């Protein structure tokens, strides 16, 4: 700073001050001490002005820095606003997804409740099945006991059947021997099985079939030029209606004898009018003959039947 402190005052201000001072000097009389005091005041004002301008410069620089910082701040704030906007969108989407998740959780909770309800019903059903199974096992146990008893009874039955079969076999052997003996006897005394049948059959037919026949005889039929012999033939009555008896006598009647009889009478039946009784008489009737005789409606009579 120059002497008197004038270097810091601008020329315009300095001239204004000098003008004011000159005008004041003209009006008043100023002592040298007052003048020097005034000059000191002016110098101090100039110094203060210089400091003020210096501070103003610093303030301008600070303001400039503040402006730059403000610009950067605004730029950052703009970026933050963009980020906040993005966050707001993301938050909205998150809330939307959260809403959907809450709905899904609600549906899951409802489904879980229904599942638990169904599981409860299944547990009840399983309990009922377990009880039914227990009852079934109890019944199966009783059935097993019953089957065991039946098996034992079946074993005993089979043993008895075997005994009966053996007895039947012995009986058939005895009857066979008896038939042989009767055959030999008839040969020796001239009395045939056919004669026995003629005596026995009428009484049997009356008692069991309510057929009244007075006589049985041997008869020959001519059918299509062929002679067919029926050794037991007769006309009887049942319930007031005539019935023709066509019969055959065999000492032992097996399946083959029944088949032959069926074949013989099949030739005669077309020429017989009215109802017909088919009958076979013998000393022994074998079980093999019964089945086929029943199927053909043939009555089998053994000599020991009454």
- Smallest CA-to-CA distance from 292 within 306, 303, 278, 274 is with 278
In a domain, 120, yes or no: no
CATH number of the domain enclosing 197: 3.40.1350.10
The sign of the dihedral angle between the CA atoms of 166, 171, 172, 174 is positive
Mean pLDDT of the 137-158 span:
78
Counted domains in the chain: 2
From 44, 79, 114, give the residue that closes a domain: 79
List, for residues 219-275, the tens digit of each pLDDT value.
999 998 999 999 999 999 999 999 999 999 999 999 999 999 999 999 999 999 999
Q: How far is the C-alpha of 88 from the C-alpha of 91, rounded, in Å? A: 5
For residue 67, count other CB atoms closer than 10 A to its CB.
10
Condensed to tens digits (0 to 9), the pLDDT of residues 67-119 reads 788 788 688 868 868 876 886 887 888 788 878 878 876 887 788 888 788 86
- Nearby residues of 235 by Cβ (< 8 Å), 6 or more positions away: 213, 242, 243, 244, 245
| Other C-beta atoms lying within 10 Å of the C-beta of residue 267 | 14
- Domain boundary among the residues 38, 57, 79 is at 79
Instruction: Name the H helices within the chain.
Output: 11-27, 32-189, 193-209, 255-268, 287-295
pLDDT class of 48 with cuts at 50, 70, 90: confident
Statement: residue 171 has pLDDT above 60? no
**Helices 255-268 & 287-295, crossing angle to 10 degrees?**
30
- Cα angle 193-197-202, degrees, rounded to a multiple of 5: 170
- Give the mean pLDDT of the chain: 81
Residue 127 lies in a domain: no
Residue 53 placed within a domain: yes
- Pair 240, 231: CB distance under 8 Å: no
pTM over 0.85, yes/no: no
Is residue 90 domain-resident?
no
In a domain, 110, yes or no: no
Sequence-distant (6+) residues with CB within 8 A of 186 are 192, 193, 195
* Residue 154 resides in a domain: no
Lowest mean pLDDT across 25-29, 214-218, 296-300:
25-29
Is the pLDDT at 5 greater than 70, yes or no?
Answer: no
Q: pLDDT at position 102, please? A: 84
Top-ranked range on mean pLDDT: pick from 57-61, 87-91, 185-189, 217-221: 217-221
Domain range for 228: 192-302
Residue among 305, 306, 251, 298 at smallest CA distance from 279? 298
Tell which of 61, 79, 97 closes a domain.
79
């Amino acid at each position: 700073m120059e002497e008197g402190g004038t270097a810091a005052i601008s020329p315009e201000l300095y001239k204004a001050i000098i003008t004011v001072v000159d005008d004041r000097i003209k009006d008043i009389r100023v002592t040298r001490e007052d003048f020097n005091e005034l000059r000191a005041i002016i110098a101090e004002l100039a110094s203060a002005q210089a400091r003020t301008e210096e501070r103003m410069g610093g303030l301008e620089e600070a303001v400039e820095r503040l402006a730059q910082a403000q610009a950067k701040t605004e730029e950052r704030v703009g970026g933050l606003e963009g980020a906040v906007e993005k966050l707001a969108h993301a938050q909205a989407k998150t809330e939307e997804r959260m809403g959907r998740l809450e709905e899904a959780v609600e549906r899951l909770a409802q489904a879980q409740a229904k599942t638990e309800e169904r599981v409860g019903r299944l547990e009840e059903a399983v309990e009922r099945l377990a009880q039914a199974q227990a009852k079934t096992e109890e019944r199966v146990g009783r059935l097993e006991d019953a089957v065991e008893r039946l098996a034992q009874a079946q074993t005993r039955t089979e043993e008895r059947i075997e005994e009966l079969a053996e007895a039947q076999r012995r009986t058939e052997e005895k009857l066979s021997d008896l038939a042989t003996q009767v055959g030999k006897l008839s040969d020796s005394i001239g009395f045939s099985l056919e004669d026995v049948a003629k005596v026995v059959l009428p009484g049997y037919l009356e008692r069991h079939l309510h057929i009244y026949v007075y006589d049985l005889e041997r008869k020959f039929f001519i059918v299509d030029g062929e002679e067919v012999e029926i050794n037991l033939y007769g006309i009887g009555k049942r319930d007031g209606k005539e019935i023709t008896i066509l019969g055959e006598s065999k000492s032992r009647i097996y399946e083959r004898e029944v088949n032959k009889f069926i074949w013989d009478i099949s030739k005669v039946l077309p020429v017989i009018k009215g109802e017909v009784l088919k009958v076979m008489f013998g000393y022994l009737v074998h079980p093999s003959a019964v089945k086929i005789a029943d199927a053909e409606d043939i009555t089998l009579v053994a000599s020991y039947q009454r």
